[in-house]
Amino acid sequence: MAVSTEERRIVTVLFADMAGSTALGEELDPEEMRRLLARYYGIARECVEQHGGTVEKFIGDAVMAVFGLPSAHGDDPDRAVAAALMMRDRIREDELLNGRLAIRFGVSTGEVVASRDQSAGDFLITGDATNVAARLQQEAEPWAILASD
C-alpha cells in the first residue's frame, strides 16, 4: 500500500551517526571531510536500499532510514538490523573510511505519521519511533547497534 497524503503506519526507523565527527572535522580540511561523508552516505544508502528500506534524510553526519514505506514487510525490524550490520561491515572494510569513522546505530519500531512530499518523492515521518531510534543511537557505543523491544 503506497502512502498517500498522510497516514499512520507502523514502521522501523534506523538512525546511524558518526561518533567523534566534530574532532574529525577539525582535523581534516573541508574537502576531505566532504569526501568521507559522501562515501559514508553512499554506503548507507546502498545498505538501506538493499534491505528494502528508504533513506528518509541525511542530517549532518547522521542517516535516518525507514523500513515499512512505501510497502510494509513482516520482517522490517530484521531488515533494519541487517542493514545496520551491513553498513557497519562495509564501513569497517572501506579503505577510505576504515579507522577514521566509528558509527553508532539505533533501531526502533512503532507508529508514525507518514506523508509524502509529492514534488520530491520523499517520505516525511514523525512519531515516537523516530525519537526512540535517535535516542538509542545517542546512547550506543561506537559500532554498537541498539534496538528497542
For the segment 92-99, the average pLDDT, to the nearest whole number, is 86
Residue 53 lies in a domain: yes
Q: Is residue 41 part of a domain?
A: yes
The pLDDT score that the predictor gives to residue 96 is 85
Q: In the chain, pLDDT over 90 holds for what percent of residues? A: 62
pLDDT at residue 1, as a whole number: 47
Tell me whether residue 138 is in a domain: yes
pLDDT digits (tens, 9 = 90+) for 3-24: 457 889 999 999 999 988 778 8
Q: Do the domain assignments include residue 45?
A: yes
Q: What is the pLDDT of residues 119-129, one digit of tens each?
A: 555 678 899 99
In a domain, 126, yes or no: yes
Task: Say which CATH number the domain at 49 has.
Answer: 3.30.70.1230
73 in a domain, yes or no?
Answer: yes
User: Rounded to the nearest 10 degrees, how much is the dihedral formed by the CA atoms of 25, 30, 31, 37?
Assistant: 40
1 within domain boundaries: no
Q: Which residue has the higher pLDDT, 73 or 2?
A: 73
pLDDT-based confidence at residue 149 (cuts at 50, 70, 90): confident
Q: How many domains does the chain have?
A: 1
Secondary structure string (H, E, C) spanning 51-110: CCCEEEEEECCEEEEEECCCCCCCCHHHHHHHHHHHHHHHHHHCCCCCCCCEEEEEEEEE
| Dist. CA 133–CA 29, nearest whole Å | 31
Q: In which domain, by residue range, is 123 found?
A: 6-147
Tell me which of 23-37, 71-85, 103-117 is least confident.
23-37
